[in-house]
Amino acid sequence: MPDSPSGRPAARQTITRVLRKARGRIDPRDIPGFAAACGTKEGAGLTQNEVARLLGVTPKWYRNLELGKPLTYSKGFLESVRRVLMLTDDEWETVWHLTQWRPAPDSGPEQPVRAAGNGFPAAVRQFIDAQSWATYVCDRRWDLLHYNAAALRDYPWILHGTNVMSWVLTYPEARTQLINWESDWAIPMIAQLRYHAELWKDDLGLQALVQTVHSDPSARSLWDSPHLPTLPHPSTAVTRRLYLPRQGLTEFDVTLLTIKIVDTPFRQLTIVIPSAAAGEGAEI
């Protein structure tokens, strides 16, 4: 696109300025799993190589974006940049416009529906908000309907996403935060998704989610894994490990407790329960 904004010197300089500024203000401690992926460091600021590592791309590809080179950047890649660098609304709109040559698809972080009309009782919302552990409720498509402050504290992706399945299986930062991503997290989630997709074949939203997962090469390669479990929900007998913001290299053991809400079919409440041995004295 020779006439695209990103092909003009002023536009390229603007992209460079915006992304360098964003990189410079990021505190690595706020990124769960950063120390394990990139090593410990003091002070604010990320290098281009560190950003590329978190995005799951080559340093050259991210560097091309920061230099404003007029290449074909996917929506998924740009949205990952937005999340990792915590771009403001203005920064996001600028980067999107100068790479895609059209208005940004949204003007701010996505938020799940949290009003009284979202399909479940007020008592459930009150229960979720009162929990000290990360707690959320989602529908059969894993779209978030409500979550508490602890969930937002432990999982920064929630500010820019509304689907738990999509985050686990397609967001590069999930693979940084979730230890043993493939065996302990991705494969069980794919088993659940396949079960729901077969059960509700006519649910267009669910089928669209399947296509989103299939578009990710790593997730797609696991779709027909011979190691898929049979349970269509997280097993409370299984302990998983993850990293948390501001906790460095500390690994936290957690169990996912899912509870069905009887009078709201196809919605389930999930509580992320820490193991008694995990990170003694630290919040989760």
Q: What is the pLDDT of residues 243-275, one digit of tens each?
A: 999 999 999 999 999 998 888 878 899 999 998
Domain spanning 5-100: CATH 2.60.120.10 = no
223 vs 59: CA distance, rounded Å = 28
Q: Where are the alpha helices (DSSP H) in 242-282?
A: none
Looking at residue 48, what is its pLDDT? 98
- The three-class DSSP label of residue 237 is coil
218 vs 195: CA distance, rounded Å = 19
Looking at residue 51, what is its pLDDT? 98
Q: Torsion-angle region of residue 225: left (phi > 0), alpha (psi -120 to 50) or beta?
A: beta
Domain spanning 122-274: CATH 3.30.450.180 = yes
Looking at residue 4, what is its pLDDT? 52
Looking at residue 108, what is its pLDDT? 46
Looking at residue 49, what is its pLDDT? 98
- How far are the Cα atoms of 72, 99, 148, 228 from residue 78, in angstroms, in the given order? 11, 9, 27, 31
Q: Where are the alpha helices (DSSP H) in the chain?
A: 9-25, 34-38, 48-55, 59-66, 75-84, 89-100, 122-130, 149-154, 164-170, 172-177, 187-199, 204-214, 217-222
Q: Find the angle CA(50)-CA(52)-CA(56) to the nearest 5 degrees.
A: 120
Looking at residue 105, what is its pLDDT? 73
Residue 182 DSSP class: I
The crossing angle, in degrees rounded to 10, of helices 59-66 and 9-25 is 120
181 vs 199: CA distance, rounded Å = 26
Residue pair 13/68 in contact (Cβ under 8 Å)? The answer is yes
Average pLDDT of adjacent 10-residue blocks, the chain of 284 residues: 56 94 97 96 95 97 96 94 94 93 64 50 91 95 94 91 92 96 96 94 96 95 90 86 96 94 86 70 38
Residue pair 164/138 in contact (Cβ under 8 Å)? The answer is yes
Please state the domain extents for the chain: 5-100, 122-274
Contact partners, residue 184, CB within 8 Å, separation at least 6: 178, 238, 240, 241
Residues, the chain, total?
Answer: 284
And the tokens for 170? Answer: 């397609």
